[in-house]
Amino acid sequence: MGWFWGNSNDDPVKKLDPDLREYLEHEAPKKYVPTTSVPSQGPSKTDAPQAQSSQPKASNAEPSEPAVPSASLFPDGRYAHLWKTYKPPQEKEASEQKTAERVIEKYKQRGDTVHRAAMENCALEHEDLTYCFQTGTWQKRLQARVTLCSEENAKFSRCFTTQAKFLQALGYASSFEWDGEKEERIQMHADKLYHEMLDYEQRVDEAQKAGLEPPPLTSLFNPQAEPQQKPVSKPGTLEIPGGEKIPAGFKPSKPLAQLTPHERELEIRAHNAQLEQQKLYVQEASPFMKSQEDARNKRRDKAVSWFGETIGRWVT
C-alpha cells in the first residue's frame, strides 16, 4: 500500500547530500551478528591479567560495614564519626534498665552464693550433725535424741555463720564478672582463716588449763601487724587484733563483749566489706538512678507550674 504523498518504494536517503549520507552511514550502529557456540577453553594470557584485576574490584564493591551510620541525618557522610556512638533514647533507657536489674539480681544472688560456699567449707561439721542420730550405740543415739545433738549443732552453726562472714570480709562473689579461680582461692583462704582462729582458741584453752600465759594475739587479716602480748586492762576497752577501729554506726551481730578478739576483728572487717559492696552497687546503678531522678524532677517542675509549690511537690 502506497503513501498518500508518494511511492513507498522510493529511498529517501538517496536525496540526501553525499557528505551527510556518508556521515550517517559511518555513525549508524552496526548490526548484531550472533556468534556460534565455541568450546570452553582456559583463559588466554591476555585475559588473565584482566580477570585478576577485576577480582579486587568485585571484593571491594560491597563494603562489610556501611560508611554512613543508619542514624545519621547526613547521607553524604558528614559527622559520621560522631554518629557512630549515638544511641537513641529508647536504647539508652533499655540499657540503663538492664543495668539496674543486673544489680538487683546480683544483690540477691550474692547471699545465696556465699551461703553455698560456707556450707561447702563446713561439710565435715554438717556430716557430723547429720549422722549424730544414726551412728553409735543405742545409748549414744538415745543421748543424741535427748540433747538434740547440741554439741554438733553448735559446732556446725558457728562454722556456717563464721565462714560466711569470712567470705564476705574477703570479698567473695563481690565482682559482677564471675572468676572461678579467684573465687575458689577466696573460699579456701576463708576456710584457712577459720581454722587458724579455732587453733588459736584451742591453744589459749590449753594455756589457761596449764596456768601459763596465753599466746600472743595476732591479726588474721594482717599477720604483719605487731601482736598484742597482754590483754588490754583499761576498763571499757575491748581487745581487737590488728588495731582495728570500731567504725561509726557499727552494729555487730552480738555485743562485742560477748565475742572473742578474732570474732570482733571479723565483724569489723565484714562490716567494712559490706559498705564497699554497697558503694559498688550504687556506682553500677548510678546511670539508672540519675535518669529516674531527672524524670522525677521534670514531673515535679511541671506539677508545680500547674498546681503550685505545695500541691506540686506533694503530688510528685
Q: Mean pLDDT in the chain?
A: 76
pLDDT at 93: 52
Q: Is there a domain that residue 209 lies in?
A: yes
Give the count of beta carbons closer than 10 Å to the beta carbon of residue 182: 13
Q: Is there a domain that residue 7 lies in?
A: no
Q: How far apart are CA 4 and CA 9, in angstroms?
A: 13
Q: Which residue segment(s) compose the domain that 146 sits in?
A: 96-218+261-303
pLDDT at 243: 80
Q: What is the DSSP string of 210-265?
A: TT-PPPPB--SS-TTSPPB-S---STT----GGGPPPPTT---SS-GGGS-HHHHH
Q: Is there a domain that residue 34 lies in?
A: no
Whether 286 has a pLDDT exceeding 60, the answer reads yes
**Confidence tier at 190 by pLDDT (50, 70, 90):** very high
Q: Is there a domain that residue 233 lies in?
A: no
Name the grid cell of 261. Answer: 578478739
Half-sphere exposure of 251 (CA within 13 A, CB side): 1
pLDDT at 77: 65
Give the count of beta carbons closer than 10 Å to the beta carbon of residue 253: 12
229-281 pLDDT per residue, tens: 554 445 457 888 888 888 888 888 888 889 999 999 999 999 999 999 888 87
Q: Is there a domain that residue 176 lies in?
A: yes
Q: Is there a domain that residue 35 lies in?
A: no
Q: What is the DSSP string of 103-170?
A: HHHHHHHHHHHHHHHHHHHTHHHHHHHHTTTTSS-HHHHHHHHHHTTHHHHHHHHHHHHHHHHHHHHT
Report the number of distinct structural domains present in the chain. 1
Looking at residue 179, the DSSP 8-state letter turns out to be -
Kindly report the CA angle at 263 between 258 and 266, in degrees rounded to 5? 140
Q: Is there a domain that residue 109 lies in?
A: yes
Lowest mean pLDDT among 5-19, 32-46, 163-177, 246-260: 32-46
Chain Cα centroid distance, residue 225: 35
pLDDT at 138: 73
Name the more confident of 264 and 314: 264
How far is CA 220 from each of CA 14, 230, 274, rounded to the nearest angstrom?
118, 17, 18
Looking at residue 2, the DSSP 8-state letter turns out to be -
Lowest mean pLDDT among 106-110, 120-124, 184-188: 106-110
Q: Is there a domain that residue 74 lies in?
A: no
Lowest mean pLDDT among 81-95, 165-179, 213-227, 268-282: 81-95
Termini Cα distance of the chain = 94
pLDDT at 61: 45
5-26 pLDDT per residue, tens: 555 556 666 667 777 777 777 7
